[in-house]
Structure 1
Amino acid sequence: MADHETGGSEGRTRPARGDDGIRPLTKAVAVLVLPFLAAAVVLLYGFPADTERLFAWTIQPPLTAMVLGAAYAGGIWFFLQVLRQDRWHRVRHGFPAVVLFATLLAIATVLHWDRFHFGHISFITWATLYLVSPVLLLGVLVVNWRADRGRPDAVDTTISRPVRILLAIFGAVSLATGLVLFFNPAVAIGSWAWELTPLTARVVGTVLTLPGTVHIWLLVDSRWSAFRWIFQAQMVSLVLLNLAVVLCRDQLLWENAVTLPVVVTLSVALVAYAVLYLYCDRRARRGAEQAPHTRRSAVNPEA
């Protein structure tokens, strides 16, 4: 298939449908979002106890600020890959998750408007970002969605069906939990692994929707290359989430039934992602190394 097709009487070209390219709008949105994410990570993860003075709204306890900062750190890695990669399918399944994340935080901002620090530069930045980013990210999906032609990379492998189903189940649980926390935050107040308010319950719920929304796509796409770079971003978040739990362990409510499962799930998820990543990467490289020999054998059976 040609990479471009001619359009209009003026002979101009436009990207062909199914060329698997990342459109300029997609790259531009990544450039726009990255500085905001970087600033948020510095403030939330670097100074989690100073959000009353430095951030758009006061976040207590600091563990919640670090959880949000960890999610933004994963977002930095993801959008850096959007800039770095040249194939849409490598980042495609991350965008529905980011659209949902931005939309839910925009709704939470409206619902808890009185909690924000009006006039503060960080609030103006936050409000502007979440007013604009859901629309821009949705535009990325519309412009770029059909570019994926469904083909694997030259160096690629498939994720086995049992693993994909298991990850999809984990994702569905994470997504469902996140949506419950967002739409009914009262269920988490007093019973979550650490102290939450209606706003912070919605924020934590929004963070939980990220892996859930990504994993659903494993049911329809088995290409390792379609998840490799997104899983990198999720591992970045998981490393920082586990570190936050260690650093803020005094803020955990061990008397609550969900605390131990939450802590264990975070650590197990990081190990599971790392094992899967190393296995699939090794399998993809081994397949690429064997491919030339297979082609030579087909041409010369005596080789």
Structure 2
Amino acid sequence: MSRPEEIAPPELFYGDTEAQKYTANSRIKSIQAQMTARALELLALPEDESAFVLDIGCGSGLSGEMLEEEGHVWVGWISRRVCWVKVALEREVEGDLFLHDIGQGFGFRPGTFDGAISISVIQWLLNADSASHSPPQRLARFFTTLHSCLRNPSRAVFQFYPSSDDQVQMIVSAAQRAGFGGGLVVDYPNSRKARKMYLCLMVGQQEVPKGLDGEEMSVEETAKRREEIKNERRRRKESGGRKGKRGKKDVTAKEWILKKKDLYRTRGKEGVPLDSKYTARKRRVQF
């Protein structure tokens, strides 16, 4: 079977049908959950506080949901495809979403994020999908701007599917030239089916974690582990510890909209509508 990145650019391959199918497939969601859980483990965020995380290539927000469950705030960066935004909004994800080509780099302020994760994305940067695309230049711009927007110390963890050792070398070299430390973490290296590759990049001096060995966790074991994490977080919350996931049911639509408006004004965004008695009013259905 051909690899998706070899069939068409992401803005063409992931059409409305493909995006819906990807998000609704239970097997894909299970695999995504396992890889995101492992990426968060490698990210090694502080357990006693909420972190601000960049989810690169967030798609419909499957990884973002796990970040929310861990009590973190996240921003999603989506490739140039509106269908992902539609699916994410339908699923009512909590993170703010940006629609932009990751090969053009990031425009965030230095030291904005406490960490970054990415699941099955960076291999797309290795394809020249147009005459203006140069994989080495796109990788350099990607990693240089990412390094700038991460605080020191912090980590960025990328799960990816390289098609050759040359691609691995190109990605690792580009990250090192941008100033990152760290390296590759390979889980289950002796298993053709369970083998997973993670690029664990470091800002600041840190030790590279080791890969997993032995048998891969089953879907049931992964679900059980996630339930244990939720219960532990709930116990910490009840005992006055770290805050848990923000409850949607405790916040009205108007409160949520006013909060979003305040956030946009704080960021200096222009054109934010004024608050009035009509804010968050229910619209009449048009037939």
Q: After TM superposition, is the score higher than 0.5?
A: no
Structure number having the greater strand percentage: 2
Q: Indicate the structure (1 or 2) with the bigger Cα radius of gyration.
A: 1
Structure number having the greater helix percentage: 1
Q: TM-score, normalised by structure 1?
A: 0.26
